[in-house]
Structure 1
Amino acid sequence: MTDADPLVEAWSAAQVEVMHGLRDWVVGFTALNQHLAEWLRLPASDANALGQIIWAAESGAPLSPVRLARQIGMTTGATTILLNRLEAAGHLVRSRESADRRRVTLRPAPASREHARGFLAVAGAEIADVLRTTSPAELRTVVAFLGRITGAAAAADHRLSADAAST
Protein backbone atom coordinates (compact mmCIF):
# COMPACT_ATOMS: atom_id res chain seq x y z
CA MET A 1 0.00 0.00 0.00
CA THR A 2 1.29 3.46 -0.89
CA ASP A 3 0.84 6.66 1.07
CA ALA A 4 -0.68 8.49 -1.93
CA ASP A 5 -3.85 10.47 -1.29
CA PRO A 6 -6.21 9.51 -4.13
CA LEU A 7 -8.12 12.79 -3.80
CA VAL A 8 -5.08 14.98 -4.49
CA GLU A 9 -3.06 12.63 -6.71
CA ALA A 10 -2.32 14.07 -10.15
CA TRP A 11 -4.17 11.45 -12.20
CA SER A 12 -3.72 11.32 -15.96
CA ALA A 13 -6.73 11.87 -18.20
CA ALA A 14 -6.60 8.17 -19.15
CA GLN A 15 -6.61 7.06 -15.50
CA VAL A 16 -9.61 9.29 -14.74
CA GLU A 17 -11.36 7.99 -17.87
CA VAL A 18 -10.83 4.39 -16.69
CA MET A 19 -12.30 5.15 -13.26
CA HIS A 20 -15.29 6.88 -14.87
CA GLY A 21 -15.70 3.91 -17.21
CA LEU A 22 -15.69 1.47 -14.30
CA ARG A 23 -18.25 3.61 -12.47
CA ASP A 24 -20.42 3.80 -15.60
CA TRP A 25 -20.27 -0.02 -15.97
CA VAL A 26 -21.43 -0.43 -12.35
CA VAL A 27 -24.30 2.01 -12.97
CA GLY A 28 -25.26 0.23 -16.20
CA PHE A 29 -25.01 -3.21 -14.60
CA THR A 30 -27.18 -2.03 -11.71
CA ALA A 31 -29.81 -0.77 -14.18
CA LEU A 32 -29.77 -4.12 -16.01
CA ASN A 33 -30.15 -5.91 -12.68
CA GLN A 34 -33.20 -3.73 -11.94
CA HIS A 35 -34.68 -4.78 -15.29
CA LEU A 36 -33.95 -8.41 -14.43
CA ALA A 37 -35.74 -7.92 -11.10
CA GLU A 38 -38.78 -6.56 -12.92
CA TRP A 39 -38.62 -9.41 -15.48
CA LEU A 40 -38.53 -11.99 -12.67
CA ARG A 41 -40.96 -10.02 -10.48
CA LEU A 42 -38.48 -10.07 -7.60
CA PRO A 43 -36.94 -7.42 -5.35
CA ALA A 44 -33.62 -6.19 -6.77
CA SER A 45 -31.58 -7.90 -4.02
CA ASP A 46 -33.28 -11.25 -4.73
CA ALA A 47 -32.80 -10.88 -8.49
CA ASN A 48 -29.14 -10.01 -7.98
CA ALA A 49 -28.63 -13.09 -5.81
CA LEU A 50 -30.49 -15.33 -8.25
CA GLY A 51 -28.46 -13.92 -11.12
CA GLN A 52 -25.24 -14.70 -9.25
CA ILE A 53 -26.48 -18.23 -8.51
CA ILE A 54 -27.42 -18.83 -12.15
CA TRP A 55 -24.15 -17.41 -13.49
CA ALA A 56 -22.08 -19.51 -11.08
CA ALA A 57 -24.01 -22.69 -11.87
CA GLU A 58 -23.70 -22.05 -15.62
CA SER A 59 -19.94 -21.58 -15.28
CA GLY A 60 -19.60 -24.91 -13.44
CA ALA A 61 -18.71 -23.33 -10.09
CA PRO A 62 -21.96 -23.23 -8.09
CA LEU A 63 -22.02 -21.03 -5.01
CA SER A 64 -22.33 -21.80 -1.35
CA PRO A 65 -24.45 -19.45 0.79
CA VAL A 66 -21.29 -17.95 2.32
CA ARG A 67 -19.72 -17.21 -1.08
CA LEU A 68 -22.99 -15.72 -2.29
CA ALA A 69 -23.17 -13.48 0.79
CA ARG A 70 -19.68 -12.16 0.02
CA GLN A 71 -20.54 -11.57 -3.64
CA ILE A 72 -23.74 -9.64 -2.95
CA GLY A 73 -22.40 -7.75 0.08
CA MET A 74 -24.85 -9.08 2.64
CA THR A 75 -24.37 -10.74 5.99
CA THR A 76 -24.81 -14.50 6.09
CA GLY A 77 -27.93 -14.05 8.21
CA ALA A 78 -29.55 -11.67 5.71
CA THR A 79 -28.49 -13.96 2.87
CA THR A 80 -30.16 -16.92 4.59
CA ILE A 81 -33.43 -14.98 4.76
CA LEU A 82 -33.09 -14.02 1.09
CA LEU A 83 -32.36 -17.66 0.13
CA ASN A 84 -35.38 -18.83 2.13
CA ARG A 85 -37.56 -16.43 0.09
CA LEU A 86 -36.08 -17.62 -3.21
CA GLU A 87 -36.47 -21.27 -2.23
CA ALA A 88 -40.07 -20.79 -1.04
CA ALA A 89 -40.92 -19.06 -4.33
CA GLY A 90 -39.46 -21.99 -6.31
CA HIS A 91 -36.46 -20.11 -7.76
CA LEU A 92 -33.72 -22.01 -5.93
CA VAL A 93 -32.67 -25.50 -4.94
CA ARG A 94 -30.23 -26.12 -2.08
CA SER A 95 -28.35 -29.39 -2.27
CA ARG A 96 -25.53 -31.21 -0.56
CA GLU A 97 -23.22 -32.31 -3.35
CA SER A 98 -19.93 -32.42 -1.47
CA ALA A 99 -18.50 -35.32 0.49
CA ASP A 100 -18.83 -32.91 3.42
CA ARG A 101 -22.61 -33.10 3.81
CA ARG A 102 -22.62 -29.87 5.82
CA ARG A 103 -21.72 -27.89 2.67
CA VAL A 104 -24.73 -26.51 0.83
CA THR A 105 -24.65 -25.83 -2.91
CA LEU A 106 -27.03 -23.32 -4.48
CA ARG A 107 -28.59 -24.12 -7.85
CA PRO A 108 -31.28 -22.27 -9.78
CA ALA A 109 -34.58 -24.06 -10.29
CA PRO A 110 -34.83 -25.05 -13.98
CA ALA A 111 -37.85 -22.80 -14.64
CA SER A 112 -36.12 -19.77 -13.08
CA ARG A 113 -32.96 -20.50 -15.03
CA GLU A 114 -34.91 -20.58 -18.29
CA HIS A 115 -36.86 -17.43 -17.39
CA ALA A 116 -33.58 -15.59 -16.67
CA ARG A 117 -32.11 -16.99 -19.90
CA GLY A 118 -35.05 -15.43 -21.76
CA PHE A 119 -34.17 -12.07 -20.20
CA LEU A 120 -30.51 -12.41 -21.19
CA ALA A 121 -31.46 -13.22 -24.78
CA VAL A 122 -33.19 -9.83 -24.89
CA ALA A 123 -31.04 -7.73 -22.56
CA GLY A 124 -27.61 -9.17 -23.30
CA ALA A 125 -27.57 -8.73 -27.08
CA GLU A 126 -25.49 -5.54 -27.09
CA ILE A 127 -23.02 -6.84 -24.51
CA ALA A 128 -22.65 -10.14 -26.36
CA ASP A 129 -22.01 -8.21 -29.59
CA VAL A 130 -19.21 -6.20 -27.94
CA LEU A 131 -17.63 -9.38 -26.55
CA ARG A 132 -17.86 -11.14 -29.94
CA THR A 133 -16.28 -8.23 -31.82
CA THR A 134 -13.44 -7.53 -29.38
CA SER A 135 -10.10 -9.03 -30.34
CA PRO A 136 -8.66 -11.80 -28.17
CA ALA A 137 -5.63 -9.58 -27.41
CA GLU A 138 -7.84 -6.74 -26.17
CA LEU A 139 -9.91 -9.16 -24.09
CA ARG A 140 -6.73 -10.53 -22.46
CA THR A 141 -5.63 -6.96 -21.64
CA VAL A 142 -9.01 -6.15 -20.10
CA VAL A 143 -9.06 -9.38 -18.09
CA ALA A 144 -5.56 -8.70 -16.77
CA PHE A 145 -6.45 -5.13 -15.78
CA LEU A 146 -9.74 -6.15 -14.16
CA GLY A 147 -7.92 -8.86 -12.24
CA ARG A 148 -5.46 -6.34 -10.85
CA ILE A 149 -8.04 -3.69 -9.98
CA THR A 150 -10.39 -6.27 -8.45
CA GLY A 151 -7.47 -7.64 -6.45
CA ALA A 152 -6.66 -4.13 -5.23
CA ALA A 153 -10.29 -3.58 -4.18
CA ALA A 154 -10.32 -6.95 -2.39
CA ALA A 155 -7.06 -6.11 -0.60
CA ALA A 156 -8.47 -2.74 0.51
CA ASP A 157 -11.67 -4.46 1.70
CA HIS A 158 -9.65 -7.05 3.65
CA ARG A 159 -7.50 -4.34 5.23
CA LEU A 160 -10.53 -2.22 6.16
CA SER A 161 -12.35 -5.25 7.59
CA ALA A 162 -9.28 -6.17 9.65
CA ASP A 163 -8.97 -2.55 10.87
CA ALA A 164 -12.67 -2.50 11.84
CA ALA A 165 -12.36 -5.81 13.67
CA SER A 166 -9.40 -4.55 15.69
CA THR A 167 -11.13 -1.38 16.90
Structure 2
Amino acid sequence: MTDDPLIADWTPEQIAVMHHLRDWVVDFGELNQHLAAWMRLPGADANALGQIIWAAEADTPLSPARLSKQIGMTTGATTILLNRLEAAGHVQRTRESTDRRRVTLRPTPAARDRARQFLGLAGTEIAHVLRTTPPAELSTVAAFLARMTAAADVATLRLGLTDADG
Protein backbone atom coordinates (compact mmCIF):
# COMPACT_ATOMS: atom_id res chain seq x y z
CA MET A 1 0.00 0.00 0.00
CA THR A 2 1.32 3.43 -0.95
CA ASP A 3 1.32 6.54 1.24
CA ASP A 4 -0.41 8.57 -1.50
CA PRO A 5 -4.06 8.65 -0.35
CA LEU A 6 -5.34 9.30 -3.87
CA ILE A 7 -3.87 6.13 -5.36
CA ALA A 8 -3.69 3.87 -2.32
CA ASP A 9 -5.33 0.47 -2.38
CA TRP A 10 -8.06 1.04 0.19
CA THR A 11 -10.21 -1.80 1.44
CA PRO A 12 -13.97 -1.56 0.91
CA GLU A 13 -14.38 -1.17 4.70
CA GLN A 14 -11.92 1.74 4.80
CA ILE A 15 -13.67 3.44 1.89
CA ALA A 16 -17.07 2.92 3.54
CA VAL A 17 -15.84 4.49 6.79
CA MET A 18 -14.50 7.56 5.00
CA HIS A 19 -17.77 7.93 3.06
CA HIS A 20 -19.80 7.65 6.26
CA LEU A 21 -17.59 10.19 8.02
CA ARG A 22 -18.02 12.58 5.08
CA ASP A 23 -21.79 12.00 5.12
CA TRP A 24 -21.93 12.72 8.88
CA VAL A 25 -20.02 16.00 8.39
CA VAL A 26 -22.43 17.05 5.63
CA ASP A 27 -25.49 16.10 7.67
CA PHE A 28 -24.12 17.81 10.78
CA GLY A 29 -23.60 20.97 8.71
CA GLU A 30 -27.21 20.78 7.53
CA LEU A 31 -28.41 20.36 11.11
CA ASN A 32 -26.35 23.42 12.05
CA GLN A 33 -28.13 25.40 9.32
CA HIS A 34 -31.47 24.32 10.80
CA LEU A 35 -30.23 25.43 14.23
CA ALA A 36 -29.28 28.79 12.71
CA ALA A 37 -32.79 29.22 11.33
CA TRP A 38 -34.32 28.05 14.64
CA MET A 39 -32.24 30.58 16.58
CA ARG A 40 -32.69 33.26 13.87
CA LEU A 41 -28.92 33.58 13.49
CA PRO A 42 -26.45 33.54 10.62
CA GLY A 43 -24.83 30.13 10.16
CA ALA A 44 -21.46 31.19 11.58
CA ASP A 45 -23.11 32.64 14.67
CA ALA A 46 -25.15 29.47 15.24
CA ASN A 47 -22.01 27.35 14.83
CA ALA A 48 -20.19 29.48 17.39
CA LEU A 49 -23.13 29.41 19.79
CA GLY A 50 -23.33 25.63 19.42
CA GLN A 51 -19.63 25.31 20.25
CA ILE A 52 -20.07 27.56 23.29
CA ILE A 53 -23.09 25.57 24.52
CA TRP A 54 -21.43 22.16 24.03
CA ALA A 55 -18.29 23.33 25.83
CA ALA A 56 -20.33 24.72 28.73
CA GLU A 57 -22.35 21.48 28.94
CA ALA A 58 -19.08 19.54 29.16
CA ASP A 59 -17.89 21.96 31.88
CA THR A 60 -14.99 23.04 29.65
CA PRO A 61 -16.05 26.57 28.70
CA LEU A 62 -14.27 28.21 25.81
CA SER A 63 -12.17 31.32 25.65
CA PRO A 64 -12.60 33.61 22.64
CA ALA A 65 -9.21 32.49 21.29
CA ARG A 66 -10.15 28.79 21.52
CA LEU A 67 -13.48 29.50 19.88
CA SER A 68 -11.66 31.28 17.04
CA LYS A 69 -9.64 28.14 16.37
CA GLN A 70 -12.68 25.86 16.53
CA ILE A 71 -14.75 27.88 14.09
CA GLY A 72 -11.88 28.82 11.78
CA MET A 73 -12.15 32.59 12.14
CA THR A 74 -9.63 35.25 13.03
CA THR A 75 -9.75 36.61 16.55
CA GLY A 76 -10.99 39.95 15.19
CA ALA A 77 -13.86 38.34 13.27
CA THR A 78 -14.67 36.21 16.32
CA THR A 79 -14.84 39.31 18.50
CA ILE A 80 -17.37 40.88 16.11
CA LEU A 81 -19.38 37.63 16.09
CA LEU A 82 -19.31 37.47 19.91
CA ASN A 83 -20.45 41.09 20.11
CA ARG A 84 -23.49 40.15 18.00
CA LEU A 85 -24.24 37.07 20.13
CA GLU A 86 -23.86 39.07 23.32
CA ALA A 87 -26.05 41.92 22.05
CA ALA A 88 -28.72 39.37 21.06
CA GLY A 89 -28.68 37.92 24.59
CA HIS A 90 -27.18 34.54 23.63
CA VAL A 91 -23.71 34.74 25.22
CA GLN A 92 -22.08 36.17 28.32
CA ARG A 93 -18.39 36.92 28.70
CA THR A 94 -17.22 36.24 32.24
CA ARG A 95 -13.94 36.40 34.11
CA GLU A 96 -13.83 33.20 36.17
CA SER A 97 -10.09 32.63 36.33
CA THR A 98 -7.75 34.02 38.95
CA ASP A 99 -6.15 35.73 35.94
CA ARG A 100 -8.84 38.39 35.47
CA ARG A 101 -7.62 39.04 31.91
CA ARG A 102 -8.93 35.63 30.79
CA VAL A 103 -12.44 35.69 29.40
CA THR A 104 -14.75 32.68 29.53
CA LEU A 105 -17.71 32.31 27.19
CA ARG A 106 -21.02 31.06 28.60
CA PRO A 107 -24.39 30.69 26.93
CA THR A 108 -27.21 32.58 28.57
CA PRO A 109 -29.94 30.45 30.15
CA ALA A 110 -32.37 31.59 27.41
CA ALA A 111 -29.97 30.54 24.61
CA ARG A 112 -29.34 27.21 26.32
CA ASP A 113 -33.08 26.60 26.69
CA ARG A 114 -33.78 27.52 23.06
CA ALA A 115 -31.00 25.19 21.86
CA ARG A 116 -32.36 22.41 24.07
CA GLN A 117 -35.78 22.86 22.47
CA PHE A 118 -34.14 22.48 19.06
CA LEU A 119 -32.25 19.36 20.13
CA GLY A 120 -35.46 17.87 21.47
CA LEU A 121 -37.00 18.32 18.05
CA ALA A 122 -33.98 17.59 15.84
CA GLY A 123 -32.08 15.06 17.90
CA THR A 124 -34.71 12.37 18.39
CA GLU A 125 -33.30 9.92 15.85
CA ILE A 126 -29.69 10.54 16.83
CA ALA A 127 -30.52 10.04 20.51
CA HIS A 128 -32.34 6.81 19.62
CA VAL A 129 -29.27 5.44 17.81
CA LEU A 130 -27.02 6.36 20.75
CA ARG A 131 -29.39 4.85 23.32
CA THR A 132 -29.89 1.59 21.42
CA THR A 133 -26.26 0.95 20.44
CA PRO A 134 -24.54 -1.56 22.73
CA PRO A 135 -21.96 -0.01 25.09
CA ALA A 136 -19.12 -2.11 23.64
CA GLU A 137 -19.89 -0.82 20.14
CA LEU A 138 -20.06 2.77 21.40
CA SER A 139 -16.67 2.29 23.10
CA THR A 140 -15.15 0.98 19.87
CA VAL A 141 -16.57 3.85 17.84
CA ALA A 142 -15.48 6.43 20.43
CA ALA A 143 -11.94 5.04 20.46
CA PHE A 144 -11.80 5.05 16.65
CA LEU A 145 -13.10 8.62 16.45
CA ALA A 146 -10.60 9.73 19.11
CA ARG A 147 -7.77 8.30 16.96
CA MET A 148 -9.17 9.98 13.83
CA THR A 149 -9.46 13.29 15.69
CA ALA A 150 -5.89 12.98 16.99
CA ALA A 151 -4.65 12.25 13.45
CA ALA A 152 -6.53 15.30 12.12
CA ASP A 153 -5.06 17.41 14.95
CA VAL A 154 -1.53 16.32 13.99
CA ALA A 155 -2.22 17.11 10.32
CA THR A 156 -3.70 20.50 11.26
CA LEU A 157 -0.65 21.33 13.37
CA ARG A 158 1.70 20.26 10.56
CA LEU A 159 -0.25 22.29 8.00
CA GLY A 160 -0.24 25.30 10.31
CA LEU A 161 3.53 25.08 10.58
CA THR A 162 3.80 24.67 6.81
CA ASP A 163 1.56 27.71 6.24
CA ALA A 164 3.74 29.76 8.59
CA ASP A 165 6.84 28.81 6.59
CA GLY A 166 5.29 30.19 3.44
Q: Percent identity?
A: 68
Q: Which residue of 1 aligns with 2:68?
A: 69
Q: Which residue of 2 aligns with 1:14?
A: 13
Q: What residue identity is the alignment partner of 1:101?
A: R
Q: Which residue of 1 aligns with 2:104?
A: 105
User: Structure 1-normalised TM-score?
Assistant: 0.97
Secondary structure in 2 matching 1:106: strand
Cα offset, 1:60, TM superposition: 0.9
Distance 2:73 2:140 in 1: 31
Q: What stretches of structure 2 of length at least 5 have no aligned partner?
A: none
Runs of 4+ in 1 over 4 A off after TM superposition: none
User: Structure 2-normalised TM-score?
Assistant: 0.97
Cα offset, 1:166, TM superposition: 1.3
Distance 1:91 1:164 in 2: 34
Secondary structure in 2 matching 1:62: coil
Q: How much is the aligned-residue C-alpha RMSD, in angstroms?
A: 1.2
Equivalent positions of 1:121-140 (< 5 A) are 121-140=120-139
Cα offset, 1:70, TM superposition: 1.2
Distance 1:12 1:93 in 2: 48
Q: What stretches of structure 1 of length at least 5 have no aligned partner?
A: none
Distance 1:39 1:80 in 2: 23
Distance 2:76 2:157 in 1: 20
Aligned length: 166
